[in-house]
Amino acid sequence: MPRKARRSVRPSSATLALLTCALAMPASAEVFINELHYDDATASGDVGERIEVVATAGETLSGYRIHLYNGATPSAATTYDNDPVPAGSLVSCGGSVRIATVSYPSNGLQNGANDAIALVDASGAVVQFISYEGAVTASNGPAAGRTSVNLPVSESSSTAAGTSLQLGGSGSGYGSFTWRASATQTFGACNNGQTFAGANPAPTITATTPVDGASDFPAAGDLWVAFSETVTLATGAFALQCGQSGNVA
Nearer to Ca ion, 60 or 70 (CB): 70
Nearer to Ca ion, 70 or 150 (CB): 70
Least distance to Ca ion, CB of residue 76, Å: 12
Output the CA torsion 142→148→154→156 (10° steps): 60
Of 29, 36, 17, whose CA–CA distance to 61 is shortest? 29
Nearer to Ca ion, 111 or 128 (CB): 111
Interface with Ca ion by CB under 5 A: which residues? 35, 38-39, 46, 52, 70, 72, 107, 109-111, 115, 186, 191
Least distance to Ca ion, CB of residue 189, Å: 5
Residue 22: how many other CB atoms lie within 10 Å: 18
Of 204, 162, 206, 207, whose CA–CA distance to 182 is shortest? 162
Q: Where are the beta strands (DSSP E) in the chain?
A: 5-8, 31-37, 50-55, 65-70, 78-84, 89-93, 95-103, 115-120, 126-132, 149-150, 163-171, 178-184, 194-196, 205-209, 224-227, 239-242
Least distance to Ca ion, CB of residue 162, Å: 13
Least distance to Ca ion, CB of residue 72, Å: 5
The one-letter code for the residue type at 232 is T
Of 166, 155, 160, 153, whose CA–CA distance to 111 is shortest? 155
Query: For residues 4 and 93, what is the distance between their CA atoms, to the nearest angstrom?
Result: 45
Nearer to Ca ion, 100 or 120 (CB): 100
Least distance to Ca ion, CB of residue 63, Å: 22
Cα 29 to the chain's mean position, in Å?
Answer: 9
Least distance to Ca ion, CB of residue 52, Å: 5
Nearer to Ca ion, 41 or 231 (CB): 41
Nearer to Ca ion, 96 or 230 (CB): 96
Nearer to Ca ion, 44 or 232 (CB): 44
Backbone φ, ψ for residue 208 (5° rounding): -140, 150
Least distance to Ca ion, CB of residue 241, Å: 44
